């Protein structure tokens, strides 16, 4: 009548010692490993240093926080122009966004904002939107995505094939129509509708 | 405020060894599959942890791939288990020992 | 030019019997006379072409042509080629003539007797003739060896023609095995010659030098230009090669101690015996020595061995012939004996004499065998001479031709055998007298044996004649023999005439005594003055024998040359006549002769049992070779195979234990994997200082 799971102890757990031992070893190693502080993702810094550089026409660049996000920016005063480019970094696209810097509820400056999100990049690439901003790292990731796609399709097909089974000499596939269901009441020797047999079994 | 990387690693090791423990002690094929998933995800934890450690997004993307692969693996695994069940009327992996010597 | 025509069509001499063989093999049952006609036509064609070639050769031309190089075009070319010189032309005529007559005779012996399997018989005869003709024509030793083997195969097939009976089957096997034993040495010798000289040609051509010539040059220059092996000097090495080749000769020509197959070969059909003994198989051995005489003439040791073997065999076989009861057995031993004479002549420096005897023997031995065949037909295949007697009047043609053959065999003047045998003995005698030291002594010993054998030959031959044809018929069959037809008589008459007169081609004694020059036709024939064969002539052999081997002919030991000739001829003729007279006294005088050989007592038993040669050879095989082979087999099975099997069994046993770790349970594999990982991590970690 037990309905809840029970922990079954016994000799069959003996091989598990190996797993425990492995964990102990790994834990000891990891604890003692001389790992420094993680670098993390300080977007603005990285982009400021690596991407925008001084290629902005006015030579003014920096980071700015707005809407809870930190952006890497290059700006040129108040002009809404597209001549802010990030020429040397193919991995980063550029967006333009109006930002309220004075806090008076009015956007007063247009910033050039680099897109750093690879996932976002992949999305653009996948649907061929904004094709002039396509960039190489995004492309390699896209290739990987497509490979995964293939693998998944393969797995699906494999699963379907594996799920085929033999039933009474007949192959039944997971995706097949079960047309082997016999139509009722027509084969010879079966009971006729009136309770007798076809060859006159009522005498 | 960042968590020290070694904690991620220990977590990952714990998850991995849990999966390994399952594989070593269980005989149910479905539990096997789950254990294998655990081990795969332990690897994912590592990928993400090191992605953060090096400040490189590649690891995170790779974790995504791993999840996709895991899905594929589960599909195949389930298929195998189905066949196993059909042939042995059971999902006990110890039963399927007829193809040894 | 006519000469070239004869040579251009020479390959047809060989091709015709081969075509007959193929045709009869395929279609024999549908052919007239079950294939005999095809065989007769083919051999007749060969005979005509051979005669044509003979006439052309007599006109002073010879012919050598490479037909086909089948291996080693660069380094050591191995090829088929034909070579027609006086020796081979003469042999071609003999072989094709005897083959033709044997075919005709077979009509009477096989067809008329209602034998089955005749297409097989005639196709094998065709193959036999083909092999022998090709062997005769061969221009190199390797080709000769191949056809030598083919001849052996054919004799096996034909001796075992009645293979359903025990006797012929086992006789065929014996003939094959015994000659094969000799051929084994021949093969090694052939390889040795090719390896030593780089060629096995008998005759020098424009671009190649024959190996006897190379050997001669090498001996003159102290081994220059040839490769010797095993650290022997050229002379010793050449002797070894010569002896090896001689092994094949001894086997095929039934010389002691490999003669034992030949009497058993009488189990075959009698025409086959005639063919084997007169022209093909047995003649092949002697022909081979004559063919490469330029090589043997350089080797005094081998020559001495040849002479001794020949002389001993001649005497040895003649003694056994004395006591045999069956007519074909007597003939068989006489064959061995006569081939002994030929070997004696070759060893004694009488190249022409040996060739001459080869020719006359071919005629009279074929005649005797066919005559015996005729008697056997008449006697309903009873071969025991003691069941015959008195056939003289019943079958006169057979009797007179058989008598001519017997007189020739016994060596009674003026039949063919007298001239050739006399020349054999004369040559050995003069060389024995003239040569200094051991050579002379050996030759004289061999001569003495040959001379004594003449006595025995005369005796057993006429014992056979008297028992078969004279006196009263001793059985009912002999009183009423079955008649024979023309196809039996015709070959007998042809051969009878040849056996009577063939001697005139080389009446050397007459020439020397009466001083008539130029009637030694065979000498002249075998001594042509063509450039191509300048190293293959009789006088060249004589020079080589003298210069290299120290053979000297001294014809004046008993005064003048004619005295020596007369003494030699008189001795052999006298002994032959004594033998004949003895036979007459014992078997010819009384119409009902007794078995006088019984008086020989133990000697008869010894002779009748062939000196127990078969017994000791069987003992050699079963008592010595078999245990050795068993020992080798045990070594092979136990140690060689044992090692191999042991390795296999060890792996199998090991595997059957180790396989148990393959449980088939995934968990166990995973446990092992994980364990390995743990161990690896521990090792790497400890050595790499991770736990410090």
A104 three-class SS = coil
ipTM of predicted assembly, 2 dp = 0.90
Nearest of C135, C137, C107, C86 to residue C35 by alpha carbon? C107
Say if CB B33 and CB B78 are below 8 A apart: yes
Rounded Cα distance between C159 and C175, Å, is 8
Burial of C418 from C-beta contacts in 10 A (0-12 / 13-18 / 19+): buried
Residues of B in contact with A165 (CB under 8 A): 82, 86
Rounded Cα distance, A116 and A102, in Å = 26
Q: What backbone phi and psi angles, to 5 degrees, belong to C384?
A: -75, 120
* CA–CA dist A197, A178 (Å, integer): 29
Is it true that the peptide bond before C260 is cis, omega within 30 degrees of 0?
no
Strand partners for A197: A191
Q: Which residues of A touch B6 (CB under 8 A)?
A: 30-31, 33, 35
How many of the other CB atoms lie within 10 Å of CB of C689? Answer: 8
What confidence score (pLDDT) does residue B12 get?
94
| Residue A109, token pair as written in the block | 């400056």
Question: Out of B25, B94, B101, whose CB is closest to C665?
Answer: B94
Average pLDDT over residues A34-56: 49
C83 and C138 in contact (C-beta within 8 Å)?
Answer: yes
- A28, A30, A120, A153: best to mutate for the B interface, most B CBs within 10 A: A30
Express each pLDDT in C128-178 by its tens digit. 888 888 888 888 888 888 888 888 888 888 888 888 888 888 888 888 888
Q: What pLDDT does residue A2 have?
A: 63
C-chain residue closest to A21, CA distance: C678
Residue in chain A nearest C669 by alpha carbon: A15
Give residues 24 to 43 of A whose Cβ lies within 8 Å of B: 26-27, 30-31, 33, 35, 37-42
Distance CA(A152)–CA(B78), nearest Å, equals 14
When pLDDT is cut at 50, 70 and 90, the band that residue C223 belongs to is: low
Is residue A15 within 8 angstroms of chain C, CB to CB? Answer: yes
Place of tokens 């251009």: C8
3 state DSSP class of C8: helix
Q: How many residues does chain A have?
A: 203
A13, A38, A40: residue with CB nearest B25: A13
Strands in C292-358 per DSSP E: none
Question: Which pLDDT value is given to residue A172?
Answer: 65
Domain ranges of chain B: 5-88
C236-287 residue pLDDT tens: 888 888 888 888 888 888 888 888 888 888 888 888 888 888 777 888 888 8
How many Å apart are CA C144 and CA C150, to the nearest integer? 10
Which two three-digit tokens encode residue C154? Answer: 């054919």
User: What pLDDT sits at residue C654?
Assistant: 92
**How much is the pLDDT for A103?**
65
Sign of the alpha-carbon dihedral angle for C45, C46, C47, C50: positive
Q: How far is CA C546 from CA A167, C349, C539, C543, C587, in A?
A: 102, 9, 10, 5, 47
Q: What is the mean pLDDT of residues C349-355?
A: 84
Q: Which two tokens stand for residue C642?
A: 């044992």
Q: What percent of chain A stands above pLDDT 70?
A: 28
In angstroms, the CA C124 to CA C106 distance is 13
Our CA-based measurement puts residue C159 at a distance from the nearest CA of chain B, in whole angstroms, of 59
Q: Under 8 Å CB-to-CB from C30, ≥6 apart: which residues? A: none
Three-class secondary structure of residue C46 per DSSP: helix
Do B24 and C674 lie within an 8 Å CB cutoff? Answer: yes
pLDDT at C347: 85
Chain B residues whose CB is inside 8 A of the A40 CB are 2, 52, 55
Tell me the chain B residues in contact with residue C662 when contact means C-beta distances shorter than 8 Å: 100-101
Query: The domain B5-88: what is its CATH number?
Result: 1.10.287.3510
Interatomic CA distance for residues C348 and C341, integer angstroms = 10
Tally of residues, chain C: 692
Q: Give the separation between CA A16 and CA A3, rounded to whole angstroms.
A: 26
Which residue on chain C is closest to B21 by alpha carbon? Answer: C671
Residues on chain A touching C692 (C-beta within 8 angstroms)? 32
CB pairs under 8 A between A and C: 28
What CA–CA distance (Å, rounded) separates C27 from C15? 18
Candidates A19, A39, A148; nearest CB to B54: A39
CA distances from C163 to A134, A192, C108, C157 (A): 96, 80, 21, 9
pTM of the model: 0.66
Q: What is the pLDDT of residues A51-62, one digit of tens each?
A: 333 333 344 444
Distance CA A125, CA A143 (A): 11
Distance (Å, rounded) from C-alpha A105 to C-alpha A108?
A: 9
C681 reaches A (C-beta below 8 A): yes
pLDDT in tens, C277-313: 877 788 888 888 888 888 888 888 888 888 888 888 8
Angstroms from B94 CA to nearest CA on chain C: 5
């Amino acid at each position: 009548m037990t309905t809840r799971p029970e922990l079954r102890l016994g000799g069959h757990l003996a091989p598990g010692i190996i797993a425990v031992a492995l964990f102990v070893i790994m834990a000891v190693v990891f604890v003692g490993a001389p790992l420094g502080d993680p670098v993390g993702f300080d977007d603005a810094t990285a982009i400021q240093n690596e991407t925008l550089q001084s290629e902005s026409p006015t030579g003014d660049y920096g980071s700015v926080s707005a809407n809870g996000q930190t952006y890497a920016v290059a700006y040129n005063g108040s002009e809404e122009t597209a001549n802010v480019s990030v020429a040397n970094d193919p991995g980063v696209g550029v967006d333009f966004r109006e930002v309220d810097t004075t806090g008076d509820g009015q956007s007063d400056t247009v910033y050039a904002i680099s897109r750093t999100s690879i996932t976002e990049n992949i999305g653009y690439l996948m649907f061929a939107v904004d094709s002039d901003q396509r960039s190489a790292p995004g492309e390699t990731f896209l290739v990987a995505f497509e490979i995964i796609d293939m693998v998944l399709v393969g797995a699906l097909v494999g699963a379907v094939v594996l799920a085929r089974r033999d039933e009474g000499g007949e192959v039944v596939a997971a995706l097949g129509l079960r047309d082997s269901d016999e139509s009722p009441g027509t084969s010879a020797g079966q009971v006729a509708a009136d309770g007798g047999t076809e060859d006159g079994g009522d005498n | 405020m960042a968590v020290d990387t070694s904690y991620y690693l220990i977590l990952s090791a714990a998850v991995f060894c849990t999966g390994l423990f399952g594989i070593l002690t269980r005989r149910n094929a479905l539990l096997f599959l789950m254990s294998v998933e655990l081990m795969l995800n332990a690897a994912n934890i590592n990928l993400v942890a090191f992605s953060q450690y090096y400040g490189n997004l590649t690891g995170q993307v790779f974790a995504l791939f791993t999840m996709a692969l895991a899905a594929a693996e589960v599909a195949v695994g389930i298929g195998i288990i189905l066949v196993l069940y059909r042939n042995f009327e059971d999902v006990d992996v110890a039963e399927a020992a007829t193809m040894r010597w | 030019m006519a000469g070239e025509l004869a040579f251009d069509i020479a390959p047809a001499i060989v091709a015709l019997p081969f075509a007959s063989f193929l045709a009869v093999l395929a279609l024999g049952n549908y052919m007239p006379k079950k294939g005999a006609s095809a065989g007769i036509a083919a051999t007749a064609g060969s005979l005509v072409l051979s005669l044509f070639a003979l006439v052309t050769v007599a006109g002073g031309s010879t012919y050598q042509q490479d037909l086909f190089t089948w291996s080693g075009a660069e380094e050591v070319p191995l090829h088929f080629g034909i070579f027609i010189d006086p020796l081979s032309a003469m042999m071609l005529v003999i072989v094709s003539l005897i083959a033709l007559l044997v075919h005709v005779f077979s009509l009477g012996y096989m067809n008329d007797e209602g034998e089955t399997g005749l297409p097989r018989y005639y196709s094998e005869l065709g193959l036999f003739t083909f092999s022998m003709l090709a062997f005769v024509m061969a221009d190199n030793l390797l080709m000769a060896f191949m056809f030598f083997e083919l001849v052996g195969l054919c004799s096996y097939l034909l001796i075992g023609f009645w293979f359903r009976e025990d006797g012929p089957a086992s006789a065929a096997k014996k003939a094959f095995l015994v000659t094969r034993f000799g051929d084994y040495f021949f093969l090694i010798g052939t390889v040795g010659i090719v390896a030593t000289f780089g060629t096995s040609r008998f005759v020098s051509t424009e671009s190649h030098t024959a190996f006897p010539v190379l050997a001669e040059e090498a001996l003159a220059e102290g081994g220059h230009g040839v490769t010797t092996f095993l650290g022997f000097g050229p002379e010793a090495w050449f002797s070894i090669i010569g002896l090896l080749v001689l092994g094949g000769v001894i086997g095929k020509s039934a010389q002691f101690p490999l003669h034992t197959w030949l009497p058993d070969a009488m189990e075959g059909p009698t025409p086959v015996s005639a063919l084997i003994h007169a022209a093909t198989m047995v003649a092949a051995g002697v022909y081979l020595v004559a063919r490469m005489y330029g090589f043997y003439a350089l080797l005094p040791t081998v020559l001495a061995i040849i002479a001794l073997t020949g002389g001993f065999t001649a005497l040895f076989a003649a003694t056994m012939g004395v006591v045999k009861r069956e007519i074909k057995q007597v003939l068989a031993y006489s064959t061995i004996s006569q081939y002994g004479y030929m070997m004696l002549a070759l060893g004694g420096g009488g190249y022409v004499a040996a060739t001459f005897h080869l020719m006359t023997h071919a005629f009279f031995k074929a005649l005797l065998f066919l005559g015996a065949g005729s008697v056997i037909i008449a006697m309903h295949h009873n071969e025991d001479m003691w069941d015959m007697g008195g056939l003289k009047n019943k079958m006169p043609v057979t009797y007179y031709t058989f008598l001519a053959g017997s007189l020739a065999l016994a060596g009674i003047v003026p039949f063919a055998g007298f001239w050739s045998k006399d020349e054999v003995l004369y040559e050995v005698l003069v060389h024995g007298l003239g040569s200094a030291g051991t050579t002379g002594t050996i030759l004289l010993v061999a001569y003495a044996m040959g001379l004594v054998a003449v006595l025995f030959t005369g005796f057993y031959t006429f014992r056979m004649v008297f028992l078969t044809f004279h006196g009263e018929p001793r059985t009912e069959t002999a009183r009423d023999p079955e008649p024979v037809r023309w196809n039996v008589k015709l070959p007998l008459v042809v051969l009878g005439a040849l056996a009577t007169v063939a001697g005139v081609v080389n009446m050397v004694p007459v020439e020397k005594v009466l001083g008539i020059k130029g009637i030694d036709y065979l000498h002249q024939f075998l001594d042509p003055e063509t450039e191509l064969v300048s190293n293959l002539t009789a006088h060249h052999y004589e020079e080589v024998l003298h210069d290299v081997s120290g053979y000297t002919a001294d014809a004046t030991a008993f005064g003048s040359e004619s005295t020596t000739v007369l003494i030699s001829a008189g001795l052999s003729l006298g002994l032959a006549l004594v033998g004949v007279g003895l036979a007459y006294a014992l078997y010819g005088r009384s119409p009902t002769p007794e078995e006088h050989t019984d008086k020989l007592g133990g000697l008869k038993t010894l002779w009748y049992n062939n000196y127990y040669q078969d017994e000791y050879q069987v003992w050699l095989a079963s008592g010595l070779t078999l245990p050795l082979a068993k020992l080798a087999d045990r070594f092979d099975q136990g140690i060689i195979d044992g090692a191999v099997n042991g390795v296999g069994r060890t792996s199998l046993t090991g595997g059957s234990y180790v396989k148990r770790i393959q449980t088939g349970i995934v968990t166990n594999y995973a446990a092992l994997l994980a364990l390995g990982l743990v161990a690896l991590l521990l090792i790497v970690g400890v050595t790499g200082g991770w736990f410090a």
